[in-house]
Structure 1
Amino acid sequence: MKKIRQNRFLRMMFLLALALYFNSCTDDLEKTPENVTTSDKQFNSVEGYKQGLVSVYSNLAYSTFLRFYWSMQEYTTDMAVSTWNDGGDGIYHELAWSADSPAITNVYNAAINMITLCNNYINEASPDKVSARGFSGSEANQIEQFKSEARFLRAYCFWILMDCYGNPPFPTEETLGTTAPSQIQRADLFDFLENELTDIESILADPGTNEWGRPDKAAAWALLARMYVNAKVYTGQEHYTEAITYSNRIIDEGYALEDRYEWLMLGDNNLNTNEFIWTINYDNTNITWYSTNFLALGPAGVPGSINGMSSSWQAFRFTQQVPALFPTADTSIDKRAMFYTNGQNLEVNSITTSTDGYSAYKYRNKKRDGSPIEQNNNFGNISDIDFPVFRLAEIYLIYAESVLRGGTGGNLTLALDYVNKIRGRAYANDPSSTLGNITSTQLTLDFILDERARELYWEAHRRTDLIRYNRLTTGDYLWAWKGNAEAGRAVDDKYNLFPIPTSDLLANPNLQQIEGF
């Protein structure tokens, strides 16, 4: 299996995003445009269609989306407390937001904006328009593949809305620019996404053959597997058998764990073609403070000599419950325990004290050999770390959990083998090692939840995981300052979801708020 990194594609993304931004700015809103690229001019070639797709990708990568989504997934849990405690990070950890909280609009608006861009692209790539513009044969097929990628990106954003907000608005290419979107129920959105992803899987590129950062069949399978393992939360119905089915499809394509855990989140992690399934790409030529910058610079205390960029922003740390999941708070046993402890206290006695709570140096803007990444910008501290939305270790853990939850089509022996591969890498930098092995009796659902925390920390999974295990809001699992209590406390179950922002409720009469908000 081989994936090709295309820096040209990434740079094209950013440059087009800038062009779109500056073309939209004027001091005179009454001015008649004199140099406007119409749809027919933009989409008069296959290259034009690709450039149109680039604008969608650039919006995902270079908007505020990743940083705000990460905050929503991690600050609400044991995985992070915010020193700054601004922009809603405080209410996230307190589990105390409302429909008027500005923080909850960030991801909501970013996802809706992405969906709107995808809907517009899907319209422009409709069979009627493609035919009217003179495309046929291989060119039409290539445009159809581009459209399938836009449909995947739209599905990914709808999944985020389904996971976070429950019953979101449902804008499609058919309603674009005509009427206010209707509201869709969570279970119905699940059905739509299931149908959409299975419909495009045959059109998407084969696994490992697309440009780096563009989704392929395996990306669609990974999103389906993630949806299916959470299906009981979304629909009330179990789909663990389907989660196993789509995990198997990915595993059967020959993906493999990278040898060393420390390689996963480096500035040259575009080399991780064995394990990474779909990534959001970053390049320090393209300046933004909303990339993986915050994941390298944000952890409290970590110096530039370690993170490969500059001194820490002192932005976030773990609660003490996270280091307790590891055998030690260093890499002497489990090499995933990349905790930064110098000058840091274990316990979080104060959320806004930057030295309360360990942090980590998981994200480092360096190469595998430890050498620095050349900076092609005037700041000297912009990240090259690509963000893996899906990687094989998650798929292994989905498979194992789904087997334990009663799904068919898999077996406990393979589940144990996949988990032990993850632990072999963690304990010996070798997935085939037996050093970290557990036994079949140790492989329980509780173990899987803890192993996901050890393997996937700070990769925007934790809130969704705790909800699936009924531990986000309940008293079954407490962490420091959960519910704004130092020892933690249970909160109202309504905080398993975020409300629809008041601003959108006022703008769209078709929407109804979640009960309790």
Structure 2
Amino acid sequence: MKKINFIYFLFALATLQSCTGDLDVVAEDPRVLSSEKLFTTPLGYKQALAGVYGNLSLTGTGDAGSSFLQGIDAGTSQFGRCMWYLQSLTTDEAVWTYENDEGVAELQRNTWTAANPILLGMFSRTMAEVALANDFLRQSTPELLSSRGINATADVAEINFYRNEVRVLRAFAYYNMMDLFGKAPFITENDKLNFKGPQYNRQQLFAFIEKELNEVIPNLKAARTNEYGRLDKAMAQMILAKMYLNAEVYIGTPKYAECMTKCTEVIGGGYSLKTNYLDNFNANNNTSSELIFTLQSDGIKTQNYGATTVIINGQVGSIESNGAEFGVGGFGGALRMRRQLVEKFDGSQFDTDTRKTYAAGTRPIDIAELTNAGQGYILRKYSNKTSAGIAGVNSTFVDTDFPLFRLADAYLMYAEAQMRKDGATNSNTSANASVQSLNYINALRERANNGSAVANVTQSQVNLNFIIDERARELHWEGHRRQDLIRFNKYGGGNYNWAWKGNVANGTSFASNLNVFPIPSSSISSNPNLTQNTGY
């Protein structure tokens, strides 16, 4: 089976409290082993590794409603779901019908505060990932392996692979903290348990992540050579590419040449575009040659209310009742598209574009009431059916993995970085795409048009305004949009409006301090080293 057979959340209360002291953390399952028992065999170390990965997909060791972060609903602390809410629901991509759900109304209306439970869920779940990674690193030193009788060369070498992967997962967690909150409590395996880490700002986090990833990349498995669900060199390179593309936002220093270098490494690493665009978003997308790293989902083994379960059930229309199309029952019209995303596909050049999956029918394009499930178009991008049309094993919890990083993004990042390096700015969007950049863009367009060059573009048609719109067409609902809008000065402080931006039906600007989210109030209470972001 492609998925993790059982995710072990193995770590003691004190371990997790070191980073998530704002919440109680409990070992909720009698099958959870103590570290003394777990870390006695090479198999135990692999099970512990599964726990570090598993925190990105699951919330606990029980059913879908379980969580080892007590005091907060599992659905508002699942990593992929929280990340998607923050990166997509706060933008021009989507709206959520049920505003009584905790924290959602404030996010999609851009009126959030430090008391928002989804922000607390994201902060705590991400820092729990840091804690899990730190504990694995503490438990897998050469000295401890030797003292536990794990001396076989092959076993030690494999556990060292685990260590390097865990360092990438920790760097990925800090990358999300840097992007979303602009700061984080900084804790490593060298700190004692229950240590209240000092506050690191974006510059400090950027430097740590960059150094950490560059150190481990040579010691990671080559692209596409690791077992499915585990990361490889390309995953680490994608994090660096993302950091370099957004470096002006994060640290005030452009690093576009570095972004191009990392994108080139990813592109040359062994991944390739999947012939059918939609095969990246179906129930057997684990077979896609394009997906670099995913958040795993399985209708039986990893039941959770995570990103793809929410998206696929949510995109089922209240009028259409088209859940059978996607192999799910549906959430009664929970998700709809904002007008501005629909309009990215206006024009005859998109008539045969497979990325244009929305359904209009008799629906109005405008959403006059956010709670009216019949207003706004619905999307049909994700599915709980395989490419052969076979429905997933469960009609609620999907088999579709969330595509966190995929090759198409590297193509578009390369093009944007090249254009910015060569002089394009947000205020000057002159066309200056290189031949290589144009080739990457047109490769995606030809894929979207079943191999036809009918919608290919020329160099004179490609400027930065084109790039931000093309990113929306290629990557919508994949958790990149907020970051992209900030980079293009179209989020906080920008003059690009969308439906219900700033809690106004036709959209209005909001302050640039909203480009980072507030540190949750309870997180500040639990760690006096943390300070609140400006404007909150």
Asked if residue 72 in structure 1 is aligned to residue 86 in structure 2, the reply is: yes
Higher mean C-alpha displacement, 219-228 vs 126-135: 126-135
Higher mean C-alpha displacement, 356-365 vs 38-47: 38-47
Asked if residue 500 in structure 1 is aligned to residue 503 in structure 2, the reply is: no
Q: Deviations over 1:324-363 (max 9, x none)?
A: 1103699742211100223432111111111111120111
Aligned counterparts of 1:280 and 1:241: Cα–Cα separation in 2: 29
Asked if residue 102 in structure 1 is aligned to residue 123 in structure 2, the reply is: no
Asked if residue 429 in structure 1 is aligned to residue 450 in structure 2, the reply is: yes
Aligned amino acid, residue 186 of structure 1: R
What's the counterpart of residue 30 of structure 1? none
Aligned counterparts of 2:532 and 2:197: Cα–Cα separation in 1: 15
Aligned counterparts of 2:349 and 2:85: Cα–Cα separation in 1: 25
TM-score by length of 2: 0.87
What's the counterpart of residue 166 of structure 2? 150
Instruction: Indicate the SS of the match to 2:186.
Output: coil
Asked if residue 24 in structure 1 is aligned to residue 24 in structure 2, the reply is: no
Instruction: Indicate the SS of the match to 1:205.
Output: coil
Aligned counterparts of 1:361 and 1:466: Cα–Cα separation in 2: 23
Asked if residue 325 in structure 1 is aligned to residue 347 in structure 2, the reply is: no
Aligned amino acid, residue 50 of structure 1: K
What's the counterpart of residue 124 of structure 1? 139
Aligned counterparts of 1:141 and 1:20: Cα–Cα separation in 2: 26
Cα pair 1:46 1:143 within 8 Å, conserved:
yes
**What is the Cα deviation at residue 411 of structure 1?**
7.4
Aligned counterparts of 1:104 and 1:265: Cα–Cα separation in 2: 26
Aligned counterparts of 2:439 and 2:47: Cα–Cα separation in 1: 43
What's the counterpart of residue 49 of structure 2? 53
Aligned counterparts of 1:43 and 1:462: Cα–Cα separation in 2: 41
What's the counterpart of residue 29 of structure 1? none
Aligned counterparts of 2:349 and 2:284: Cα–Cα separation in 1: 24
Give the one of 79, 87, 96 matched to 1:82. Answer: 96
In the TM superposition, structure 1's runs of 4+ consecutive aligned residues that sit over 4 Å from their partners are: 17-23, 328-331
Aligned counterparts of 1:171 and 1:313: Cα–Cα separation in 2: 42
What's the counterpart of residue 465 of structure 1? 484
Give the one of 204, 209, 212 matched to 1:188. Answer: 204
Aligned counterparts of 2:244 and 2:330: Cα–Cα separation in 1: 41
What's the counterpart of residue 452 of structure 1? 471
Aligned counterparts of 2:117 and 2:456: Cα–Cα separation in 1: 45
TM-score by length of 1: 0.91
Aligned amino acid, residue 24 of structure 1: A
**What is the Cα deviation at residue 367 of structure 1?**
1.4
Aligned amino acid, residue 407 of structure 2: L
What's the counterpart of residue 216 of structure 1? 232
Give the one of 354, 369, 372 matched to 1:335. Answer: 354
Higher mean C-alpha displacement, 217-226 vs 303-312: 303-312
**What is the Cα deviation at residue 300 of structure 1?**
4.7
Aligned amino acid, residue 312 of structure 2: A
Aligned counterparts of 2:410 and 2:500: Cα–Cα separation in 1: 31
Give the one of 216, 231, 235 matched to 1:200. Answer: 216
Alignment of 1:244-323 (within 5 A): 244-272=260-288, 274-286=289-301, 287-301=303-317, 303-323=322-342
What's the counterpart of residue 480 of structure 1? 499
Aligned counterparts of 2:214 and 2:505: Cα–Cα separation in 1: 46
Asked if residue 420 in structure 1 is aligned to residue 442 in structure 2, the reply is: yes
Aligned counterparts of 2:350 and 2:329: Cα–Cα separation in 1: 23
What's the counterpart of residue 10 of structure 1? 4
Cα pair 2:384 2:399 within 8 Å, conserved:
yes
Instruction: Indicate the SS of the match to 2:55.
Output: helix
Unmatched 5+ stretches in structure 2: 14-24, 60-77, 424-431
Cα pair 1:261 1:429 within 8 Å, conserved:
no
**What is the Cα deviation at residue 57 of structure 1?**
1.5
Aligned amino acid, residue 177 of structure 2: L
Instruction: Indicate the SS of the match to 1:278.
Output: strand
Aligned counterparts of 2:367 and 2:528: Cα–Cα separation in 1: 43
Cα pair 1:471 1:477 within 8 Å, conserved:
yes
Higher mean C-alpha displacement, 506-515 vs 392-401: 506-515
Asked if residue 229 in structure 1 is aligned to residue 256 in structure 2, the reply is: no
Higher mean C-alpha displacement, 285-294 vs 485-494: 285-294
What's the counterpart of residue 41 of structure 1? 37
Aligned counterparts of 2:348 and 2:375: Cα–Cα separation in 1: 15
Aligned amino acid, residue 167 of structure 1: K
* Paired-residue identity, %: 36
**What is the Cα deviation at residue 20 of structure 1?**
9.4
Aligned amino acid, residue 81 of structure 1: V
Give the one of 350, 353, 356 matched to 2:369. Answer: 350
Aligned counterparts of 1:197 and 1:435: Cα–Cα separation in 2: 40
Aligned counterparts of 2:210 and 2:32: Cα–Cα separation in 1: 38
Asked if residue 162 in structure 1 is aligned to residue 178 in structure 2, the reply is: yes
**Distance of aligned partners of 1:331 and 1:283 in 2 relative to their CA distance in 1, 3 Å threshold:** farther
Aligned amino acid, residue 53 of structure 2: Y
Aligned amino acid, residue 445 of structure 2: R
Higher mean C-alpha displacement, 308-317 vs 352-361: 308-317
What's the counterpart of residue 175 of structure 1? 191
Aligned amino acid, residue 45 of structure 1: T
Aligned counterparts of 1:292 and 1:264: Cα–Cα separation in 2: 12
**What is the Cα deviation at residue 19 of structure 1?**
11
Aligned counterparts of 1:329 and 1:321: Cα–Cα separation in 2: 17
**Distance of aligned partners of 1:176 and 1:470 in 2 relative to their CA distance in 1, 3 Å threshold:** farther
**Distance of aligned partners of 1:341 and 1:38 in 2 relative to their CA distance in 1, 3 Å threshold:** same
**Distance of aligned partners of 1:176 and 1:114 in 2 relative to their CA distance in 1, 3 Å threshold:** farther
Cα pair 2:168 2:236 within 8 Å, conserved:
yes
**What is the Cα deviation at residue 387 of structure 1?**
1.1
Cα pair 2:10 2:27 within 8 Å, conserved:
no
Higher mean C-alpha displacement, 70-79 vs 299-308: 299-308
Cα pair 1:213 1:281 within 8 Å, conserved:
yes
Aligned counterparts of 2:324 and 2:197: Cα–Cα separation in 1: 49
**Distance of aligned partners of 1:418 and 1:138 in 2 relative to their CA distance in 1, 3 Å threshold:** same
Unmatched 5+ stretches in structure 1: 1-5, 27-32
Q: Deviations over 1:134-158 (max 9, x none)?
A: 3342221111110111111111111
Aligned counterparts of 1:109 and 1:96: Cα–Cα separation in 2: 21
Higher mean C-alpha displacement, 323-332 vs 78-87: 323-332
Aligned counterparts of 1:283 and 1:303: Cα–Cα separation in 2: 21
Cα pair 1:282 1:383 within 8 Å, conserved:
yes
Aligned amino acid, residue 185 of structure 1: N
Cα pair 1:76 1:463 within 8 Å, conserved:
yes
What's the counterpart of residue 3 of structure 1? none
**What is the Cα deviation at residue 53 of structure 1?**
0.6
Aligned counterparts of 2:33 and 2:388: Cα–Cα separation in 1: 46
Cα pair 2:358 2:378 within 8 Å, conserved:
yes
Give the one of 397, 412, 432 matched to 2:412. Answer: 397
